[in-house]
Amino acid sequence: MTTSTSSISSLKERSRHYATQAERRSFIDWISDPNSWFSIVSFLGPLLLYMFTLAPTVTLEDSGEFITAAYNLGIPHPPGYPLWCILAHLFTWIPVGNIAERVHLFSAVSAAGTCLVTYLICHRLTGDRWASLIGAWALGVSRYFWSQAVIAEVYTLNALMIALAVWSILEWKATKRIGWIYNLALMVGLGAANHFLVLLFTPIYAVWVLVPDWRQILRPRVLLIATSFLVLGLSLYLYLPVRAYAHPVPNMMGTGTLEEIRDHVLRTAYSTGKETIRQGGDLSDGLKHSASAFRRHLEAFTPFILLFVALGMIQLFRSNRGYLAASIAIWLFNDVLTNVLLKERFNTSWDFVHRVYYIPADVIWATWIAAGVALLFQFFSEPSRNIIRIAAIAGIVGIGISNLNFCNRRNEVFAEQLGQDILRGLPKNSRILPNDDLVYVILYLTKVAGVRPDVQIGGPHFGFKPTKEDGFLYSFTPVTPAWREYLEDLANAGWRPAGLMYQLTPTKAIIERYEQFKPIDPPPTVPGPMVDPNDVMDRFARAIVANYYARLGAKEFVTGNKEGAEKAWDIAESIADKPYPCYQLATIYRDLKVRTDRIEPLLRKALELHEQFFDPAAERFAPVSKEEIEQFLGQIAPNTPAK
C-alpha cells in the first residue's frame, strides 16, 4: 500500500510540475524539450500510417458527395458542415495526387491532429510522455477512427474539435489563464459548425469549467468575450446562404431562405414527412444501439484493452476525479444519450451507420488507456519500464495489424470502377434518378473527375436543369410504388434493364426480354470479398454488379452461348449479397428451366438477407418484398414453410 501511495503521489507531482512550466518559451527551448519530440511523433506516426493506407480515389457512402462539395464549395447533406467544406477546399489546391486523394488527406491530417491533441491531454493528466504516446497511438490505430482517417468524411475533424475542447478545459484547470475559456468557446462554436454532435457535450463542459471556479467564469466581461468567440465559430453557418446563392454542386439545402437554413442546420429534413419512419425506434432500440456502441469500442481497440481502461479509471479516480467524472459523462452522452435522442430503429443497417458516431468516446477511451499505462509504470523500476514500454508499443502494433485489413483503403478502386462501368453503359445526355447514395460516386466522376459530364443527376441539388430534351432517365433499382409516390413524374413509370442500371419507361409495363439485354464492353469489374459483412453500401454496389451478370447469363443462354451463361451466373451467385439479385437469379433459372436445384436455396438466402438487413425506411424502395419472395418460395416448395 505504501508503494502504491508513493506512486500515486509521484504521478501527481509530475503532472503538477508539467502544469507549472513556463507558458512562453523560445524555439530553442521548445525543440530541446523531449516532450516536444514526443508531440511531433504522436502526430507524424499516425499521419504516415494514414498516408500509406489512404484511399486513392472516391469510395462508397458519402465520399463522392463530400469530395464534390469540397471541390466546388458546395453544400452537402444536413447540417451542411461549413467548417469541413472550407478547410477541405483548401486541400484541393495541394498540387499532389487527384482531387479525391487531396480531400482524403484532409481527413488524415485531422486524424493525426486529433492524436497530437490526445497526447497533450494525456500528458496533462499523467505527466508521462511514453504513456501519453501509447494512448495517442492507441487511438490512431483504433478501427473506426482509422477507417475515417483515410476517406473523405467529417468524423476526424469532429473528433479533433472535441479533443481541442477537452484540452482547453484541462489547460484552464491547470493554469487558470482565462484565454483557455475563450479557446473553449471558439472550439465549441467551430465544432458545431462541423457536426451537431459537438453540442451534445456542452452541458458537461459548462459544469466542468464552473466547478469550482464559477466566480471567475461568470464575470460579465468573461461571459461577453466567451460568447463572442462562440458566435464567431457559429458564424461559419453564413457559408450556407452565401453558397446557396451561387448554386454550387451539390446544393442539398435549396435557395438559402431562412426556413431552409434552419431546417438544414437542425437536420429537420430527417424528421418530417415520410422520413419520420427512420425515427420509429423507442427506448429499447436506443439501448440496443448503446450496447452495440460498447461492442464497437472493443472492436476498435481489441478486448484486451479493457485492462488498461480499468487501470486508467482507478488512476484518475485517485489523481483527477474532475476529469474522470467529465470523461465518463462524455462517454455516456456519446454512447447512450445520442442513441436515445436519435430514436432510430436498431437493425443491421442502422447499426452500421452508427458505428462512426462513437469516435468521440474512442478519444476518451484513449486517455483512460494512457492513464492506465502510466499507473502501471509506477510500480516498476526504470529498466523494467523500458520492457513494458516495448511491450506496450508492440501491443499498439498488434492492434494496428488486427485492424489493417479493415482500414487499409490503398487499393480500393471498386467504387470508381463501378461508376465508370455505369457511365460507360449510358447513352449521351442521360439523367440518373438520385435514389441511392451510390449516386455520389457518379456525382464525383461527372462533376470533379470530368468523366461523362453530359450525364446529369436529376434534381436541383445536383445542378440539373430540366429541358425539353433532358435525355433518358435511369435508376439504380427498378421503380417501386414508393418511388412513384415520392416523385410525381414517375407516377406511370415502368422500367427495363439497361446495362448496370434500369431505364425508366413511360408506362408501368415491365419489359424483361433477356435476348434484348445489351452488355457493356469491357464487362463490369467484379468486386473482391467483403471486408465488413455489415457494410450496406458495399452490399448494394455488389448487388448492382450481380444483377448485371444474372441478366448477362440469361442473354448468353438464350442466344446459344451456354458456357458463357454458366460463367456469368457463377459470378452473379458469388456476389449476390442482397435479396433482389438472389430473387432475380431464381426468376431467371425458373424462366429458362436451368439450375433448378439452385432456385430454393437462392430464395431462402433472399429471405435471410431480408431478415438480417430489414429497415422500414429503406424497405419502401426495395425492388422485391418479403411477401413476393415467400410467394415464389411457396410455388416451388409449397410444403416447406418460409422462415
Give the residue, 495 or 297, on which the prediction is more confident: 297
Do 369 and 115 meet the contact criterion of CB atoms below 8 Å apart?
A: no
Single-letter amino acid, residue 22:
A
**pLDDT of 138 higher than 50:** yes
Residue 466: pLDDT over 80: no
pLDDT of res. 276: 62
Mean pLDDT of 248-275: 78
pLDDT of residue 514: 87
Over residues 537-562, mean pLDDT = 94
Give the model's pLDDT for residue 19: 47
Q: For residue range 619-632, what is the model confidence (pLDDT) as tens digits? A: 667 888 889 999 99
Percent of the chain surpassing pLDDT 70? 90
**Rg for the chain, CA atoms, rounded:** 27
* Per-residue confidence band for 516, with pLDDT thresholds at 50, 70 and 90: confident
Q: Is the pLDDT score of 2 beyond 50?
A: no
Is 60 exceeded by the pLDDT of residue 274?
no
Is the confidence at residue 593, as pLDDT, over 90?
A: yes
Report pLDDT for 47: 98
Q: Which pLDDT does position 35 carry in this prediction? A: 77
Domains parsed from the chain with CATH numbers: 36-175+235-267+295-407 (no CATH), 512-643 (1.25.40)
Residues 4-31 have a mean pLDDT of 53
What local confidence, expressed as pLDDT, does residue 3 receive?
A: 47
The predicted pLDDT at position 388 comes to: 87
How far is Cα 342 from Cα 191, in angstroms, rounded to an integer? Answer: 19
Residues in CB range of 551: below 8 A, 6 or more apart: 497, 514, 517, 584, 588
Residues, the chain: 643
Range in 22-36, 46-60, 351-365, 441-455 the model is least confident about: 22-36
Residue 27 has pLDDT above 70, yes or no: no
Q: How confident is the model at residue 207 (pLDDT cuts 50, 70, 90)?
A: very high
Find the mean pLDDT for residues 548-564.
95
First to last CA, the chain: 60
Q: At residue 590, does pLDDT exceed 60?
A: yes
Residue 615 vs residue 462, higher pLDDT: 462
What local confidence, expressed as pLDDT, does residue 639 receive?
58
Mean pLDDT within 351-356: 92
* β-pairing verdict for 501-505 and 494-498: antiparallel
The number of beta carbons lying within 10 Å of the beta carbon of residue 158 is: 26
Q: Does 283 score more than 80 pLDDT?
A: yes
pLDDT band, residue 341 (cuts 50/70/90): confident
Q: Which of 438, 435, 433 is nearest to 540 (CA)?
A: 438
Q: What is the pLDDT of residue 203?
A: 95
pLDDT at position 43: 97
Helix (H) or strand (E) holding 536: helix 536-558
pLDDT, mean over the chain:
89
On the question of pLDDT at 569 being above 90, the answer is yes
The pLDDT of residue 22? 42
Q: What is the pLDDT of residue 484?
A: 72
Bridge partners, residue 432, by sequence: 457, 474
Q: What is the mean pLDDT of residues 280-306?
A: 92
Angle in degrees, 0-180, between the axes of helices 414-424 and 536-558, rounded to the nearest 10 = 40
Q: Is the pLDDT of residue 303 over 50?
A: yes
Q: Which is more confident, 347 or 171? A: 171
More confident residue, 299 or 262: 299
The per-residue pLDDT for 594 is 95
Q: Rounded to whole angstroms, what are the CA distances from 373 to 125, 366, 628?
A: 12, 11, 57
Helices assigned H by DSSP within 267-358 = 283-301, 306-319, 321-332, 338-342, 348-354
Q: How many H-runs (helices) and E-runs (strands) does the chain carry? A: 31, 5
pLDDT of residue 397: 94
**What is the average pLDDT across 532-557?**
93
